[in-house]
Amino acid sequence: MSIALRGKKEIEGLRAANRLVAQTLELAGAMVKAGVTTNEIAREAERFIVENGGRASFKGLYSPPFPGAICVSKNEVIIHGVPDDTPLKEGDIIGLDIGAELNGWYGDAAVTLPVGKISQANQKLIDCAKDTLYEAIGEIRRDMRFKELSAILENAIVSRGFVPLRGYCGHGLGRSPHEEPQILNYVEGKPKQGPKIKEGMVFCIEPMICQKSGKHKTLADGWSVISEDGLNGSHYEHAVAMVGGRAEILSAT
């Protein structure tokens, strides 16, 4: 496994791409209201990215090519939801996952947001993803193994009464939207094995939260991922860079 170590100038390029993602998330998040469609949110997000010199990097990605400019995952869809023309309803929860390429560097971040007033159960789901993300970032240290980070993520999720989505993970970030390493939200093998976190590494951490079962299912659109339990889920993500021995969040406004 080869994990890139980025220099100061490279991290500046990644910082700019992720700043654009953060600004786009802020814009898209302000649109999350009852009556708005996810296609409307996706179009506005793409317009903003393009007007600021970037490209919506998820559009056309992989096979089958992703059809939207951003991922919008509603209620039981945990990740990779496809935008459509169905209006949002009061009480929904909506995940916004945005990727952008700017001057050859990639940015990536996600949030899950309420549509108006939501149930206490849905709020707990959102809080689990968000709190787990920031708790894990706060624990990252140089020379920690990535599997140790996975253990922190899993413990944080399980301690809040939920389970991590299996089969999907965080990832390295740089000149491609997804690079090495893969960062699971659960531990496979022993935490004290595998590659260590080093100065200059840039990667995305993204807890994906299920309620009862972490086993995933992909819907007929070929992209939308749900838990086999069919219950609502949540997702949060930040891109971080190891700078000065600590994890700096790049995808923040």
Mean pLDDT of 63-91: 97
* Residues 101-154: tens digit of each pLDDT: 999 999 999 999 999 999 999 999 999 999 999 999 999 999 999 999 999 999
From the number of C-beta atoms within 10 Å of its C-beta (0-12, 13-18, 19+), residue 39 rates as: middle
Q: How far is Cα 6 from Cα 14, in angstroms, rounded to an integer? A: 9
> How many CB atoms sit inside 10 A of residue 85's CB?
8
Q: Nearest CA to 98 among 122, 71, 61? A: 71
CB 109 within 8 A of CB 238: yes
Which percentage of the chain shows pLDDT scores above 90? 96
Which band of pLDDT confidence, cut at 50, 70 and 90, is reported for residue 189?
Answer: confident
Tokens standing for residue 29: 């998040």
Indicate if the pLDDT at residue 84 is higher than 80: yes
CB 188 within 8 A of CB 120: no
* Residues 209-229: tens digit of each pLDDT: 999 999 999 999 999 999 999
Q: What is the pLDDT of residue 51?
A: 98
Q: What is the pLDDT of residue 85?
A: 98
Phi and psi, residue 146, nearest 5° = -60, -30
Phi and psi, residue 113, nearest 5° = -125, 155
Query: What's this model's pTM, rounded to 2 decimal places?
Result: 0.96
Q: How far is Cα 247 from Cα 200, in angstroms, rounded to an integer? A: 10
Ramachandran bin of 225, using left for φ above 0, alpha for ψ from -120 to 50, beta for the remaining angles: beta
Q: What is the pLDDT of residue 218?
A: 97
- 3 state DSSP class of 124: helix
Q: Please state the domain extents for the chain.
A: 8-249
CATH 3.90.330.10 fits 8-249, yes or no: no
CB 198 within 8 A of CB 246: no
What DSSP designation does 221 have?
T
* Long-range contacts of the stretch 58-67 (C-beta < 8 A, 24+): 58/97, 58/98, 58/99, 58/177, 61/99, 61/177, 64/222, 64/223, 66/223, 67/223
Beta bridge partners of 163: 210
